[in-house]
Amino acid sequence: MRTGHLKTSPGQLVALSDSPAVWAWVGALAVGLILLPYLVGNYMLTLVVSAMAAVIGAVALNMLTGQTGLISLGQSGFLAVGAYANAILLSDYGLPVWLTLPAAGLTATGISLIVGVPSLRLKGLYLAITTLAFSFIISHIILYSEGLTHGPNGIFVKGARLFGYDVQRGWPLYYLALALTAGTILAALNLTRTRIGRAWIAIRDHDIAARAMGIDLVRYKLLAFAVSSFFVGIAGALMSLQLRFVNVDVFGLILSIEALAMIILGGMGSVAGAVLGAIFLSFLPEVLRIGFSLVTDPNSTFYTNYVYEIRGIAYGLVIVVFLRFKPDGLVGMWRDAKKYWSNWPLAY
Amino acid sequence: MDFLVLLIATGLVAGATYGLIAIGFALIYKATGVVNFAQGELVMLTAYIGYSLAGAFGLTFIPLLLVAVPISMAVGLVLERIFIRPMLGEPPFAIVMVTVGLAVILRGLIIVVWGSQPANFDAGIPTTVIRLGNVPFYPAQLIMIAALGLVVLAMWAFMRFSRYGIAMRAVAANETAALLTGVSVSRIHALAWVLSSGIAAIAGMLFAANFKLAPDLWFQGLKSFPAVILGGMDSIVGAAVGGIAIGLIESLSQGYIGEGMREIAGFIVIILVLMVRPYGLFGSRDIERV
Amino acid sequence: MKTIASAVLGMLVAGPALAADPGVTDTTIKIGDVNIMTGPAAFVGRGFSVGSKVAAEEVNAAGGVNGRKIVVITEDDGYVPARSFQALTKLLEVDQIFALNGTSGTANVLAMMPLITEHKLPTVVSQAPAPVVYTPVRPTVFTFGATYENAFYAQLKYIHEKMAKPDAVYGLVRQDDDFGKDIEAGFDRAVKDFNLKAPVRIRFKKGTTNFSAEVAQMKQAGVTVLANGGIFAGAANILSEARKLDMPLIPAEVWSEGIPASAALLAPAGYDYLVGDYVSLNGPANEKFRELAKKYVSEDELKNISRYTYASYIGMKALIEAMRQCGKDLTRACTVEKLRGLKGLDTGGLSAPVDFTNDKQLSGTAVGVYQYDIKSATFKPLTGFVQY
């Protein structure tokens, strides 16, 4: 395994990766993902699409929380805005899906600026609670603006067609989700390498120092809100396409907390971490379900009485145990493994 | 006029609940720098423990408190030992997430042990209506207000005069410096959890006595966030004042505006307050140096 | 080697031989159930699940549906619509269910609706019989149960005609969602029909526990008949506040207050409240059901039996009857057709007879009004099942 990290030009420093091996693996992964609909069943595909929506959301949240250091508990609010914008434009106004998806993102961006401006002075958990407050207010507004959002009745999302294919089910939906996910990840990776990404990281590490270096805090913080919310909005739109129904109950607070858990479990501040964390937490319930059905009889009284709840407990336990032993997250684990290989047989 | 007085009275009761729960948050935040997302679950767990104790021994309120509060403190200690202590020195974010995991675990555990059906739990308090002037109260509601006052007073005295209280303030002010002067930081962290659990037990049992006992009681933890923020996250008096303020605002906004406003009025208020004072009404401002 | 090859061959031949539709083999029929098995509302979901199970075991003990045993597969959705969607996908794709009985809450059944329509899945909704479920009518969805609108209209009608004084003042507290809207529709209809004095209507958010301000508003308006849209602890807290304010009140409640657990919560307030329900809450039919259930489910599950259990039991009975009428060649299309023609199915007094022969594919809309008697801790029927 390669160990050298000698760089001779600034261009090399910001390259996405200088390792042919990494590119080869990414290529293999891409081929695997493209072939996936031929390899797995519909249920698996549904789970994968849900996971992809989670990945987009987590990568977006990572821009705001992981890279800029602005903790947000308002994820569910922005997901709801994106999903509702998509649903209303698609079902009530009959716009094509290639227009409604970016529109959903932009709507979320617009709302995020309203949230962002009063949040500029806040830090840490004060900010987190303020964003939480906004997500409560957003869901209240959705519930009470019946003319626009159909209030408590919710909206059935239908008529999303792309190149003649119905992109709300099966493999067309999967490929749409794949394209959106790949696009989001690429955008996030590229943003990290630009002036903007570096400004965000400087703000996270120390905002006063960043300001002293000439970084316009207002501008870059708002930019972080705007860009992050755009992608969260897209994630919400994707959720609404898959579910084919939106309602305020769909966007509970739990989504905000899960999104934070994803980026922390994955490894804060890293795009790969957000992706891994989202995949991990999305599939954890399924893994637990299969695990429990192997060790207990699903028809037994014990199962019907306790196992559903115990599965929930196990979910919490996995998070706790994981953080206890790997506080750097999945990415930290991967780094350790890599280090172990490169240094073997010497420990350090 | 009667209507206004009634709204103020009920607002005070609701506010006392928020205040008590918020003090639990503030204590842990002050000593450990971590927002305990499992505080609502802690309130729920200790309420259920009190419920079982009262059921098993048929205790009235004061004996129940004397038994349930120490047991809850022990539970707090155990939870801190198992879940929080091993995380000492890790980034605060990871610890906050551990409390989120703990919250999920406790929620499930409570339903496994006690079931999901809501229950009556009077905490050994009579339910005869008491009239103060023209305003009716349930005894449990008056006890709630009194409990808030007593807890604030006790915590103030503890922080002011007790050796451990002073150590706790030292840790809150500067953890490293406190460590250098010989304060056992990990013991202070444990103490914060223990005290917070004890207060959670009082809040939880009184809440259940007023509003039934159900496994969605943890939601009160979230509902108390505005109180914590309004008061400033590291101030105990602030948490109490914040709680009362939020309770009054909610009650009045529901009474005069309606339309489900109560549930979001608190959140609107904290957004407005934080725009003016980004560290709450009583919170200490961080002085940052580059 | 040979044995493996023949086994594989055998499986290929025997597997999909007879059944054209998923979920049916020569010996079994798989019925799905998506329900709330976790979280604070789990006791509702569990009560519900028991009903499907009892109906299934009952018919299995009698030889099954044309020789096929019914297997009920329950998936948890924790009352989260997105998870209901996933759970039903799993039931359809992995377990390959034939039909669905057990659909969780209103938002949850709506989230599953696109899948149900797409797979032409025979579905009986008896858990959340809201108008949004059958408007528009989905071809394979059959709804059993009255609306909250009817349930409240029935109660208010009874109160107006038999109980209240002529100068009674009517008030409404309801949740700010589709469920609350239904209740308000019933309230409005009663107010209009009987020309009632109704000065206050209050909306509250789901999950509210403290209703002091709402009840203070009621008190100020002089309300004497309360349409209480709170559920479980919420309903109890509203009445408890009313007791504190010393209000003479006739409360009309949601049918969730017709289960023993809720009754125990509401009793300390001291009001003999009313409930309108489309299933029987007390009577010989309920005793008979309990005896039946004892044979098939565990002691733990018996405790979960409530009105929700009767509703899902009836839903399953209807499904079973339709499948039985299809005979040996069981298909989804045939089951739907037979459900559409289902008429006069006797439920042993647990509800009015099932009859889906109408445009809305809706039955069980007849409502009985009950009053809870605190002293004897029982529900007393005030009216039989009547259409409103």
Q: Is B78 on the interface with A (CB under 8 A)?
A: no
Per CATH, C11-146+283-357 and C148-277+369-381 having the same topology is answered yes
Which of the four pLDDT bands, split at 50, 70 and 90, describes residue C18? very low
Chain A neighbors of B220, CB-CB under 8 A: none
Nearest alpha-carbon partner for A112 in A204, A225, A4: A225
Helical ranges in chain C per DSSP H: 2-14, 42-61, 81-90, 106-118, 131-134, 148-158, 178-194, 212-221, 233-244, 260-266, 284-296, 299-302, 307-326, 332-340
Report the C-alpha gap between C362 and C354 in whole angstroms.
9
φ, ψ at C30 (rounded to 5°) = -95, 125
pLDDT digits (tens, 9 = 90+) for A267-287: 888 999 999 999 999 999 888
Nearest alpha-carbon partner for B280 in B240, B222, B221, B223: B240
Q: Three-class SS of residue C249?
A: coil
Q: Who among B7, B214, B262 is closest to C233 (CB)?
A: B214
B280 to A265: CB separation less than 8 angstroms, yes or no: no
Residue of C210, C217, C218, C220 to mutate when probing chain B, most B C-beta within 10 A: C210
Cβ partners under 8 Å of residue A347, min gap 6: none
Q: Which residue of B has its CA nearest to A143?
A: B260
- The answer to whether the CB of C238 falls within 8 A of the CB of C173 is yes
Fold designation for C11-146+283-357 = Rossmann fold (3.40.50)
Q: Three-class SS of residue A347?
A: coil
Q: What's residue C2's pLDDT?
A: 43
Q: What's residue B290's pLDDT?
A: 63
Report the C-alpha gap between B121 and B217 in whole angstroms.
13
Q: Three-class SS of residue C245?
A: coil
| pLDDT top residue among A11 and B146 | B146
Residue of B116, B213, B252 to mutate when probing chain C, most C C-beta within 10 A: B116
Q: What's residue C15's pLDDT?
A: 40
**Is A186 inside a domain boundary?**
yes
C-alpha distances (whole Å) from A286 to each of A174, A283, B160 are: 19, 5, 52
A118 to B259: CB separation less than 8 angstroms, yes or no: no
Report the C-alpha gap between B70 and C126 in whole angstroms.
47
Supply the Cα-derived Rg of chain A in whole angstroms.
Answer: 21
- The answer to whether the CB of C332 falls within 8 A of the CB of C98 is yes
Q: What's residue C30's pLDDT?
A: 94
| Cα C133-A248-A142 angle, rounded to 5 deg | 115
Chain B neighbors of C210, CB-CB under 8 A: 10, 14, 211, 262
Given a cut of 50, whether residue C5 has pLDDT beyond it is no
- The answer to whether the CB of A105 falls within 8 A of the CB of A231 is yes
**Is A219 inside a domain boundary?**
yes
Cβ partners under 8 Å of residue C146, min gap 6: C129, C276, C277, C278, C364, C365, C366, C367, C388
Report the C-alpha gap between C114 and B86 in whole angstroms.
47
B129 to C205: CB separation less than 8 angstroms, yes or no: no
Domain count, chain A: 1
Given a cut of 50, whether residue A195 has pLDDT beyond it is yes
Tokens representing C281 are: 């809450």
**Is A23 inside a domain boundary?**
no
Across the range B262-285, mean pLDDT stands at 83
- The answer to whether the CB of B60 falls within 8 A of the CB of B66 is no
Given a cut of 60, whether residue A184 has pLDDT beyond it is yes
Report the C-alpha gap between C103 and C144 in whole angstroms.
12
C-alpha distances (whole Å) from B259 to each of A152, B67, C177, C205, C254 are: 14, 42, 12, 9, 21
- The answer to whether the CB of C115 falls within 8 A of the CB of C121 is yes
| pLDDT top residue among A307 and B131 | B131
For residue C341, count other CB atoms closer than 10 A to its CB. Answer: 12
Report the C-alpha gap between A72 and A64 in whole angstroms.
8
Long-range contacts (CB closer than 8 Å, 24 or more residues apart) made by B188-191: B188/B31, B188/B164, B189/B31, B189/B32, B189/B80, B189/B84, B189/B85, B189/B88, B190/B77, B190/B80, B190/B81, B190/B85, B191/B31, B191/B164
Helix A75-87 vs helix A42-61: crossing angle, to nearest 10: 120
Q: Who among A152, A247, A311 is closest to C81 (CB)?
A: A247
| Cα B61-B67-B72 angle, rounded to 5 deg | 110
Report the C-alpha gap between A232 and B103 in whole angstroms.
25
**How close, in Å, is residue C297 to chain A by CA atoms?**
8
A132 to B102: CB separation less than 8 angstroms, yes or no: no
- Decide: residue C321, CB within 10 A, 0-12 exposed, 13-18 middle, 19+ buried: middle
Report the C-alpha gap between C237 and B14 in whole angstroms.
13
Q: Three-class SS of residue C378?
A: strand
Report the C-alpha gap between A284 and A280 in whole angstroms.
6
Q: Is C46 on the interface with A (CB under 8 A)?
A: yes
Across the range C251-280, mean pLDDT stands at 93
Residue-range definition of the domain harbouring residue A105 = 39-343
**Is A263 inside a domain boundary?**
yes
For residue A298, whether the previous peptide bond is cis, meaning omega lies within 30 degrees of 0, is: no
Tokens representing B115 are: 């079931």
pLDDT digits (tens, 9 = 90+) for C172-212: 999 988 899 999 999 999 999 999 999 999 988 888 888 98
Q: Mean of the per-residue pLDDT values for chain C?
A: 89
- Give the total residue count for chain C: 388
- The answer to whether the CB of A259 falls within 8 A of the CB of A61 is yes
DSSP letters of B217-285? TTHHHHHTHHHHHHH-TT-HHHHHHHHHHHHHHHHHHHHHT-TTTHHHHHHHHHHHHHHH-TTTTTPPP
pLDDT digits (tens, 9 = 90+) for A11-42: 777 777 777 888 899 999 999 999 999 998 88
Report the C-alpha gap between A89 and A100 in whole angstroms.
6
Given a cut of 70, whether residue C80 has pLDDT beyond it is yes
- Amino acid occupying residue A238: L
Nearest alpha-carbon partner for A116 in A256, A22, A226: A226
Q: What is the ipTM of this complex?
A: 0.91
B112 to A208: CB separation less than 8 angstroms, yes or no: no
pLDDT digits (tens, 9 = 90+) for A52-90: 999 999 999 999 999 998 989 899 999 999 999 999 999
Across the range B133-158, mean pLDDT stands at 94
Tokens representing C207 are: 């999950």
A327 to B101: CB separation less than 8 angstroms, yes or no: no
Q: What's residue A304's pLDDT?
A: 66
| pLDDT top residue among B33 and A199 | A199
Fold designation for C148-277+369-381 = Rossmann fold (3.40.50)
For residue B91, count other CB atoms closer than 10 A to its CB. Answer: 14
Cα torsion through C79, C85, C91, C93, rounded to 10: -160
DSSP letters of B114-163? H-SS-B---TT-----EEETTEEE-HHHHHHHHHHHHHHHHHHHHHHH-H
- Give the total residue count for chain A: 348
| pLDDT top residue among A305 and B277 | B277
In chain C, where the domains are located:
11-146+283-357, 148-277+369-381
C74 to A312: CB separation less than 8 angstroms, yes or no: no
Q: Is B250 on the interface with C (CB under 8 A)?
A: yes
Least confident piece of the model among A101-110, B161-170, C9-18, C314-323: C9-18
Nearest alpha-carbon partner for A48 in A36, A35, A60, A61: A36
Q: What's residue C10's pLDDT?
A: 42
Residue of B41, B128, B135, B254 to mutate when probing chain C, most C C-beta within 10 A: B254
Tokens representing A61 are: 């949240």
pTM attached to this predicted model: 0.91
- Run of H or E residues at C226: strand C225-228
Residue with the two structure tokens 């009082």 = B202
Report the C-alpha gap between B10 and B7 in whole angstroms.
5
Report the C-alpha gap between C31 and C26 in whole angstroms.
15
Tokens representing B108 are: 């499930």
Looking only at the bridges linking them, the beta strands covering A245-246 and A155-156 are antiparallel
